[in-house]
Each structure stands twice: as C-alpha cells, then as structure tokens.
Structure 1
C-alpha cells in the first residue's frame, strides 16, 4: 500500500507547455486509496469472525476488488480534473489572446494617429517655409532689379526710353509739358527731335527742369492729368503687384 502511495505521489500530468496538473488530483487519489484500504481491513476482520468463511471470496480477491475499484474512481477523478484544467487553460488562453488583440489594435490606432499628426505638422511647416522662402526670393529679385536699373539709368538711351514711354501714354498730344530731373534735362533737350520722331501725334512738347525729380524720373502733364514715368514709381508698382500675388 505504501508503494502504491509513492507511485501516486510521483504522478505528473503535463498540459500544453509544462503546465502541471494541480496537486488536488494526487491528494484526492491518496484519500480514495486510503479509504478503500481501511474498508478492506474492516472486511477482513468481519470475514474472520463470521462462519462459512469458505463462501466468501478470499482475502486476496477482496483486496484486489477494492484496489481495482479505487483505481477506477481515482482514474475517473483524475480524468475529470485534467479536463477541467484543460478547459480552464483554453478559456484563459482565449481571454489572454483577446486582450493581446485589443491592445494591439489600440497600439495600431495610436501609431496611425501620431503618423497623421506628424504628416499634418510637416505639411504645415513646409507650407510656412515655402511662403517665407517665396517672400525672401521676391525681395532678393526686386533688390537685384533695383541695382541693375540704377546702373542702366546711367546709360543715355535708358532715360530716352522712359520719357518716350511716358509721352506715348498721354491721350492728349497738345499743350503737353515734360518735366525731367536737372541731371537729365540737358540730354533730353539735345535729343528732343529724335524723341518726338518716335512718338506719333506730337508736334511739339515743352520740356522743363524739376528739382524734386531724381535722375531717371519724368512727369508728363496734359489737360487730362499727370503721367508719372519715373523708374522709382514703376518699381513700386511692380513690388505692389508681386506682393499682392503672394498674399492671395
């Protein structure tokens, strides 16, 4: 009987990955065997005191019968507990799997949300950077243009072109007065005939010096109004149009 107890105690059932069955099975099996052993001893004592002992199964048969019954009950209990442990393991595994999937979905949603926010921030930063660069580029181009024009003003033909363009815009060709800077006055007087030959409809024009005008500037006065042909005014108009486009 002690040998059987040692065998039961050493029993071990593995489920899945090294998942041992609860010691409850072993303990319960021991209880069944001990109980049946006691019943066997009681039966032996009873049989010895009764007459007609030959009619009763031998001691060995009785003991074997009870041991077999104990083994069957132990096996039944063992299998029941094993199935319970297996079912609980499966259910716990399902719960754990669902938790993992739920956490994974949450993490994916979080990463996607962060990625979209980063993309939006990058787009906004890029837009702001490009707008700033556009303004800087335009400022640079305008500044370069001014420097180029300042050099071009020094050329005699340049001022003639400005004056010719201003006179050509005049709707009235009579009683017209042309005002130029003191620096440009002498040159314009010397080239008056050449200037008028290139403009249709002008018979004559009065040319005056204007101290307030810078070199490369001119004003055309007619009975309908004044035309500002100054290069400075033209550059200001160009700047206004360019910045207006940028601000749209």
Structure 2
C-alpha cells in the first residue's frame, strides 16, 4: 500500500492524535456549513431537474424503440402476406390452366407445383417474421442499454452534487467501518483531501465511534470526495464512488443482455 499512497497527513484513532503537514491544503472552516439551506435547496432542485430531464429522454427513447419495432413487424407481416397471396394466385392459375387443357398429367403436375409454391411461400413468410423479430429484439435491447447508461450518468451527477454539499456521507461510511473494528485490528482509510480535513475535525471532537482497533486516516489527492480506499489486515477494499458506480453499471448491463424480452 505504500507504493499506492504516499502522504504525510495521518490521523490515528485511540488515542485520537493528528499529524498534519505544516501547510494544510484547506481549513475546515473554509467549507460551507453542511446544512446551509442556501446551498442544499438549490442543489436538490438542480438534482430534481436533471432527473426529470433524464426521465423525459428515457421515455422518448423507449417509445421510439417500441414504435420502430411495431412498424418493422407490421411491414414484415404485410410482405409475408403478399408473398403468400402471390404464390396462391400463381398456383391457382396453374391448376386452372391444367384443367382447361383437360390433361390428367397436367393436373397432377399443377397440383405438385401449387403445393411446392405454397410451401416455399410459408417458409419465406416464417423467415421474414423471424428476421423482423430478431431486429426488433436488437432495437429494444440497444435502447435498454442506452437507458441504463443515461440513468447511471444522471445518478452520478446527482451523487456528485450531494457529496460536494454533504461531507457527512463519507463520515457515515467511516463510522460504520470503525464500528466493525475488532480489538487490535489495524485499519488505514485513504480519503480525498477535503474529506480528510473534515474527518480530522470530527476525530478531534471525538464525533466518530471508537473501538478497540487502531484506525488511521490518510489524505490522497487521487481519491474523489465521497469515496475511500480501506487497507485492512485482511486486504484492501476499494470504496471509491467511481468503482461502486461502475459495479452497478456492469450488473445492470449484464441484466439487460440476459433478460429475455417479452413479445408485445
């Protein structure tokens, strides 16, 4: 872990002591109050606007995909019907021609030709409908993938906005980790510089839960606000926001690929 994170900013819990560099990046007082309505209310309004715009976009994409698939199926059915009608008319014409000639051999030949043409028409009809159905499923599947990506992009914007205005999100994550510390167990939690400053203040005020374990928090400028990397005796846990969002995206996209589409 020493190759990953290099920082001289460290906070150790139990006892809660803080070592900081002589020139901290920013004091805690430089941040806006967490519950300041002038900040939180506009942020939530902006988040709601983004969600509404995304919902409208998603509904439009889904409606277009469904309409395109309906038109495609309708056109395929009409093409198959015309092929079947043409084959039937051609076969009937051949049969009437054979009857007009009055030859038994011609009649038998016409009957065979009529059956062959009808069979060919049915096969062509099935092929057209199957091709149309495959294209329909591709359209819907592609639309669902686009929708998932749009929703996740919007969700990430909302999360980023909430994290920016509310450092308590990271504090709550760290508090839950501390609660599960066992006696003598060592934890290192790497945070963004902003979250480090905030949690350093919390530790100084003894706001975080205490345990028999040893907790260190370190600052790492490569970690975005709201996320963290946890180094424990049992291994490393990547709890950065981008990692969690990516895991959700992969799970949702995998579900889109596997989930069967019900015919409408």
Query: In which range does the TM-score fall when normalised by the shorter chain?
Result: 0.5 to 0.7
**Which runs of 5 or more residues in structure 2 are unaligned?**
1-98, 259-264
1:196 corresponds in structure 2 to: 209
Deviation at 1:115, TM superposition (A): 0.7
User: 5 Å matches for 1:94-113?
Assistant: 94-113=104-123
- Partner of 2:237: helix, strand, or coil? strand
Q: Calculate the aligned-residue CA RMSD, in Å.
A: 3.0
The question of whether the paired residues in 1 share the 8 Å contact of 2:192 and 2:222 is answered with yes
C-alpha offsets along residues 153-197 of structure 1, whole Å, 9 cap, x if unaligned? Answer: 121322223333454566776332322111112211222333325
**Which runs of 5 or more residues in structure 1 are unaligned?**
1-88
Compared CA separation, residues 98 and 162, structure 1 to 2 (3 A): same
Task: Report the structure number with the largest CA radius of gyration.
Answer: 1
The total of aligned residue pairs comes to 157
2:129 to 119, 124, 142: 119
Aligned-partner Cα distance in 1 for 2:223–2:175: 17
Aligned-partner Cα distance in 1 for 2:150–2:116: 51
Compared CA separation, residues 243 and 91, structure 1 to 2 (3 A): closer
1:219 to 225, 229, 237: 229
Greater helix percent: which structure?
1
- Partner of 2:102: helix, strand, or coil? helix
Deviation at 1:149, TM superposition (A): 1.1
Aligned-partner Cα distance in 1 for 2:231–2:189: 6
TM-score (norm 1): 0.53
Compared CA separation, residues 203 and 178, structure 1 to 2 (3 A): same
- Partner of 1:195: helix, strand, or coil? coil
